[in-house]
Amino acid sequence: MPSMTALAVFTAATLALLLVPGPAVVYIVTRSVAQGRAAGLVSVAGIHAGSVVHVVAAALGVSALLAASATAFTAVKYAGAAYLLYLGLRKLFARTGALAKEAEPVSRSRMFGEGFVVNVLNPKTALFFLAFLPQFVDPGRGPVAPQIVLLGLIWIALGMASDGTYALLSAALAGRLRRSSIAARRLDVASGLVYIGLGALAAFSGDTGRKV
């Protein structure tokens, strides 16, 4: 299993990334603004049912990648770091309108299903599990797949907490969020800085998870 220090660093980095509004957060906020707190929480459940798919895929795929080629693994790591930097720069220079627009009401089962699909196809989540999470895996501390599952479960727990907070806050502030371009711009700047910081960490940490 990863060391306690590696788990602490992973937890801090995961929280930073989860707080950055991506497709999943936008979906949750939109549903919460349109249909209230319960709709937002149902969307959170759907989103993190989709996260389970990423955990399983990472446990199988990263294990195979590490076994096949250290060079391929390193290439994936740097590609992921570059993409994080790109996302950060795009956020910093983006022009933003309102944070969330009202959506058409839908059933809770549909909200859950849409949330699941949104996160299965979410490039932010896929990038995290493919290029960032493996930095905290240490093959010297045991089989890779169980370590990835543990880290993935930490991601899901923290994700449900942070996304649930987004749902509750956006439902409470629905009127302001519909028309606030200033809040949206501030979120873009903060998001951009977080992406750039995580990209730098992924690129320059080397074997973070193996050293700590």
Q: Cα dihedral sign for 132, 122, 167, 41?
A: negative
| Other CB atoms within 10 Å distance of the CB of residue 209 | 24
Can you give the length of the chain in residues? 212
Residue range 28-64, pLDDT digits in tens:
887 887 788 899 999 999 999 999 988 988 888 765 6
Residue range 76-121, pLDDT digits in tens:
667 666 766 776 787 677 665 555 555 567 788 988 998 898 888 7
Quote the pLDDT of residue 207: 47
Please state the pTM of the whole predicted model: 0.68
Quote the pLDDT of residue 46: 94
In three-state secondary structure terms, 2 is coil
Q: What percent of the chain has pLDDT over 70?
A: 67
Residue 111 buriedness (CB in 10 A; 0-12 / 13-18 / 19+): buried
Quote the pLDDT of residue 17: 81
Q: Which amino acid is at 179?
A: R
